[in-house]
Structure 1
């Protein structure tokens, strides 16, 4: 059960990191355009 929670947590962390990087890229593009 703890293993399942860790797997979900790591997946969420990866998703959050991807979301933050996507937002940062969008902000940079908006800034340059």
Structure 2
């Protein structure tokens, strides 16, 4: 069970990391500077 939970947690972390990068890109593109 522990390994499964760690695997799920890692997957969520990766998805959050991608979303965070996408948000940063959108903010960088939307900002005039």
TM value normalised by structure 2: 0.89
Q: CA RMSD in A?
A: 0.7
List 4+ stretches of structure 1 deviating above 3 A: none
Which structure's residues are more often helix, by fraction?
1
What is the 5 A alignment of 1:1-33?
1-32=1-32
In structure 1, the gaps of 5 or more residues are: none
Q: How many residues align?
A: 32
Q: Using structure 1 for the length normalisation, give the TM-score.
A: 0.89
